[in-house]
Amino acid sequence: MDEKPKKQKPNPLRLVNWKWVGTITLLSFLISVSMSYISSEALSNVGNILAFVILLLFIGIGIIFDVIGMAAASATEKEFHSMASRKVTGAKEAVWLSRNANQVSSFCNDVVGDISGIISGATGAIIIAKLTEGMALLPSTIISLTITGCIAAMTIGGKAIGKGFAIGFSVPIVFAVGRILSILPIKFDKK
């Protein structure tokens, strides 16, 4: 009897793009530190209403980047090739976004989205501390739970709405982001 050679299972560590992991880890650290610093500086000198506006801003950033990441993962580059051949502003960048959907989605959803979630939670904690200073335990607990619940609900609800929007309008979203990126002094080549 002839014995068939066994297939070797791929080594999972060889499937990992270690350069991308290192880059995204460093980028995550830098963005997190920057956003945390901006948040703490902004909150140290503002009243409660402006603190809530800052909180909503961080929640909004997380939702917007989640939409961009999902749209990049949903769009295909073929939709942008004819525009790129006609030299439409932003089309080359849109092709790049679609072609690199894995990294774009990872950056937008995992890096910016998750960092925004963490920063909005920390911002909420600062707001809670300001609002409940000197209060009795029961009212401060109620305020704390309410604000925390609202932050979670707005973030999750906003991302749920955004995902459907991103899938349904992936091409215009990616093209709009491509147009924004075309203004930046970064070259988006075919690689």
Question: For residue 66, is it within any domain?
Answer: yes
Structural domain span for residue 46: 19-181
Is residue 1 predicted with pLDDT exceeding 60?
no
Task: Please give the residue that has the higher pLDDT: either 169 or 12.
Answer: 169
The per-type count for the chain, helices as H runs and strands as E runs, is 8, 0
When divided into structural domains, the chain yields a total of: 1
Domain-located, residue 5: no
Beta carbons of 7 and 87 less than 8 angstroms apart: no
Residue 169 phi, psi dihedral angles, 5° rounding:
-125, 40
pLDDT of amino acid 3:
66
Q: Please give the sequence-ordered ranges of beta strands (E in DSSP) within 66-144, or none if there are none.
A: none
**Residue 13 DSSP symbol:** G
Q: Which of 143, 154, 130 is nearest to 51 (CA)?
A: 130
Average pLDDT rounded to a whole number, residues 81-107: 89
How high does pLDDT run on average in the chain?
87
- Confirm whether 38 is domain-assigned: yes
Instruction: Tell which residue, 64, 63, 57, has the closest CA to residue 35.
Output: 57
Q: Is residue 109 part of a domain?
A: yes
Alpha carbon distances (Å) from 50 to 39, 54, 56, 66, 130: 12, 6, 10, 24, 13
pLDDT tens per residue across span 109-126 = 988 988 999 899 989 998
